[in-house]
Each structure stands twice: as structure tokens, then as C-alpha cells.
């Protein structure tokens, strides 16, 4: 899952923040809280900016909303709750998200113990590694602490979700399809412009009543539930893929039987 562009960027930002935070704790510990607030403000800003445009062509939200409406569904999430496969996927993901929260006390204990031991460890580093500046030694100690916490978090994530296991699909409360793109209702109001980027996969499951869209740089597919799944699929193929069909459950089953 870490192969997507967005996740690589978030990984790099996390590593950069650990370096900055270790530097703050070594030079000006009183600014620790300010650094944390600034970090989460930055992450929220990036997430908000990206969520407003989930992908697709560079078409403005206003242009997509003003275009001719082809299909509208206000009960997508309600319909999703009738899909046992989706409900099970969400249940597994919820359990995986709960485990790191239960381990939060362990992270706090590690951090507190590190704060107590940091002066002694910094002194040892200064003696054995020849580091004359105590602030440099403190920076190294705190950077190691944050890397240990990061690796522990990654190990927990790998254990709870499994290597290569995909995220549960994102299902909006509702959506609207126009000839310029998709407007997602609820949340931060994402839009996906047409045509969809090269490499996008669109899958129809008419029996479960959904169309699933997997953008090439996204680790989480978008699943649109509607009672008119076939019509929705045809619209997305015509306007989003310019007639290029990328697969459906029925066609996959036909190929497997053949």
C-alpha cells in the first residue's frame, strides 16, 4: 500500500517532521507543542487540498456541477449497508484502526522514559562518539526515539492490516454524475473530472449494485452504489473512459469459465 504517490509523500512529510521535532527538542524544548500543532495543520491542509480534487481531468468544481446531470444518487451509503462484502471489509478495517489506539499508552510510556533517559544517553554519546555539542547528541537521541516509535507504528499497521491488503472502498453518502465529472456528496465534497486518467480501472458489479473506480495513484477505490449500476457504468465508460471498458464482474466470470 505504500507504493502510491500520496502515501510516499505522507511518509516523507512524516520523516521530515521527526527531524524537525527532534531538532526542536534538542534546541528549544519549549516549542514542542507549537511544532505538533503546526505539523497537524500542515497535514490537514494537504489532505483538504487533495480531497477537493480526487483525480481526473483538470476541470473546476464549478464547471462539473454546472454541467448536464446524467445520474444522481442520494442514498449510496444506505445501499452499501445491504452489501455484506462491503460491511465485512469495513468491519475488518475498523478493527485494524482500533489496535493502534489501544497501544497509545505504550507510546506515551516510551516517550516519557526517553525524556528521563535522554540527558544520560546524550552524555554517553558525547563521550564515546566524540560529540562535543550536547545539543547535537540530544538531537540524535530524540531522532532515534521517534524512528523507533515510527517503526513500531508501521509494524502494528502491518500486523493488523496484512501486507498488500487493500483498504476498504470509500463509499460516499451520495453523488452526482455530469458530463464533466463526478461530484461526491458529504465529507469535503470531492470532485473527479472527466476524462479519467490513463490507467483508471472501472468495475461493474451489477448484482451488488455498484460501480468501483480505482484511480492509478490512489490506494483506496471509490465505490458508487446505486440501483442503476449498469446505467452508471455505461455513463462512466462513455464520458470518463471515452468508450474504453476496463472490466466488470460478469465479464471476469465469463473469462474464467472460458
Q: Which fold has domain 55-91+168-257?
A: PH-domain like (2.30.29)
Task: State the chain's mean pLDDT as an integer.
Answer: 80
- Domains of the chain: which residue ranges? 5-48+93-161, 55-91+168-257
pLDDT the model gives residue 166: 64
The answer to whether 176 touches 72, Cβ cutoff 8 Å, is yes
Least confident of 77-86, 102-111, 183-192, 244-253: 244-253
Q: Give the DSSP per-residue string, 63-116.
A: HHHHSPEEEEES-HHHHHTT-HHHHHHHHHHHHHHHHHHHTHHHHHHHHHHHHH
What pTM was computed for the model? 0.66
The answer to whether 56 touches 190, Cβ cutoff 8 Å, is no
What sign does the dihedral 229-188-60-216 (CA atoms) show? negative
Rounded Cα–Cα distance for residues 154 and 129 (Å) = 30
Q: Residue 20's closest CA among 41, 42, 39?
A: 39
The vertex-199 CA angle with 195 and 200, nearest 5°, equals 60
Peptide bond into 195 cis (omega under 30): yes
Please write the tens of the pLDDT for every residue from 63-99. Answer: 998 999 999 999 999 999 999 999 998 888 787 777 7
Rounded Cα–Cα distance for residues 147 and 219 (Å) = 24
pLDDT the model gives residue 66: 92
Amino acid at each position: 500500500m505504500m507504493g502510491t504517490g500520496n502515501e510516499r509523500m505522507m511518509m516523507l512529510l512524516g520523516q521530515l517532521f521527526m527531524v524537525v521535532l527532534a531538532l526542536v527538542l534538542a534546541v528549544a524544548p519549549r516549542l514542542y507543542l507549537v511544532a505538533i500543532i503546526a505539523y497537524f495543520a500542515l497535514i490537514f491542509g494537504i489532505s483538504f487540498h487533495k480531497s477537493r480534487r480526487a483525480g481526473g481531468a483538470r476541470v473546476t468544481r464549478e464547471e462539473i456541477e454546472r454541467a448536464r446531470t446524467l445520474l444522481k444518487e442520494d442514498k449510496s451509503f444506505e445501499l452499501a449497508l445491504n452489501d455484506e462484502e462491503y460491511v465485512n471489509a469495513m468491519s475488518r478495517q475498523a478493527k485494524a484502526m482500533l489496535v493502534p489506539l489501544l497501544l497509545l499508552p505504550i507510546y506515551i510510556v516510551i516517550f516519557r522514559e526517553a525524556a528521563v533517559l535522554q540527558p544520560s544517553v546524550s552524555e554517553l554519546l558525547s563521550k564515546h562518539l566524540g560529540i562535543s555539542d550536547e545539543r547535537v547528541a540530544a538531537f540524535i537521541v530524540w531522532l532515534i526515539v521517534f524512528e523507533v516509535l515510527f517503526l513500531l507504528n508501521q509494524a502494528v499497521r502491518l500486523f493488523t492490516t496484512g501486507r498488500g491488503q487493500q483498504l476498504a472502498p470509500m463509499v460516499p453518502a451520495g453523488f452526482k454524475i455530469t458530463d464533466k465529472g463526478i461530484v461526491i456528496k458529504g465529507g469535503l465534497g470531492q470532485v473527479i473530472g472527466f476524462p479519467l486518467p490513463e490507467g483508471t480501472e472501472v468495475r461493474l458489479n451489477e448484482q451488488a449494485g455498484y460501480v468501483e473506480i480505482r484511480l492509478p495513484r490512489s490506494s483506496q477505490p471509490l465505490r458508487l452504489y446505486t440501483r442503476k449500476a449498469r446505467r452508471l457504468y455505461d455513463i462512466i465508460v462513455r464520458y470518463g473512459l471515452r468508450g474504453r471498458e476496463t472490466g466488470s464482474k460478469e465479464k471476469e466470470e465469463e473469462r474464467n469459465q472460458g
